[in-house]
Amino acid sequence: MKKGHWMVEISNIVWRVVLANLCWIAFTLLGLGILGFFPATVALFTIVRKWLKKDTDISVWRTFKQVYFKEWKRSNGIGLVFYIIGLFLFLDIRIVDGIMTGVFSSFLSILLYFLAFLFLLSVGYFFAIYVHFELSNKEYIKQSFLFAVTSLPSTIWIGAGFCVTGYLIWRFPGLIPLISAVAPAYWMMKVCLNRFTLLEKRAA
């Protein structure tokens, strides 16, 4: 069978996608969730970025493992900052919703939920920025929040893609071990690459 045969190509694509998703799940669990999430997601974004750059012949397993252990310390160091911010927002929301009442409480609750949304968006942008640019730890965090605040068109596209993925997974739970991480990461990296290319052209 010829290498370019469409059935072989489709089978190879499906296998790479499933393997990358299973690697993300396994390596996240390897770090007991909290310590595995950031390096595993960095490794996943690294792979989908290579795919988008037409570098599809890479070994998913070897690349994932190399990036995971190489970036484990640094990505978790930055991740700790995000965890602290997330915990702070979570506690604030619990306090406002559970203790405070009145108009000011409602306003504060809306504000905190909006900040929580921006925070989650910033975490997503962080991974795309991390695998594309060489920055300091401080700049990674800063640029992640700046992208979340200033990239409204990209955010709308990302949100639309996440809604489609979420709907598919909700309707077909069997897709969870197959595409639950790869699909959102691929879509977000694709949208972000377009945004990065535009910014790089403007800077040039």
**Amino acid (one-letter) located at 203:** A
- The total of structural domains in the chain comes to 1
Whether residue 74 lies inside any domain: the answer is yes
Whether residue 1 lies inside any domain: the answer is no
Check whether 3 has a pLDDT greater than 80: no
167 with 107: CB under 8 angstroms? no
Contacts of 140 by beta carbon, 8 Å cutoff, 6+ apart? 78, 126, 129, 130
Domain that holds residue 105: 6-203
Mean pLDDT of the chain: 89
Whether residue 138 lies inside any domain: the answer is yes
**Amino acid (one-letter) located at 191:** V
Whether residue 168 lies inside any domain: the answer is yes
Secondary structure in 3-state letters for the chain: CCCCCHHHHHHHHHHHHHHHHHHHHHHHHHCCCHHHHHHHHHHHHHHHHHHHCCCCCCCHHHHHHHHHHHCHHHHHHHHHHHHHHHHHHHHHHHHHHHCCCCHHHHHHHHHHHHHHHHHHHHHHHHHHHHHHCCCCHHHHHHHHHHHHHHCHHHHHHHHHHHHHHHHHHHHCHHHHHHHCCHHHHHHHHHHHHHHHHHHHHHHC
Whether residue 66 lies inside any domain: the answer is yes
Q: Mind listing the pLDDT tens digit for each residue in 86-133?
A: 999 999 888 887 776 777 778 888 888 889 888 989 999 999 999 999
Check whether 1 has a pLDDT greater than 50: no
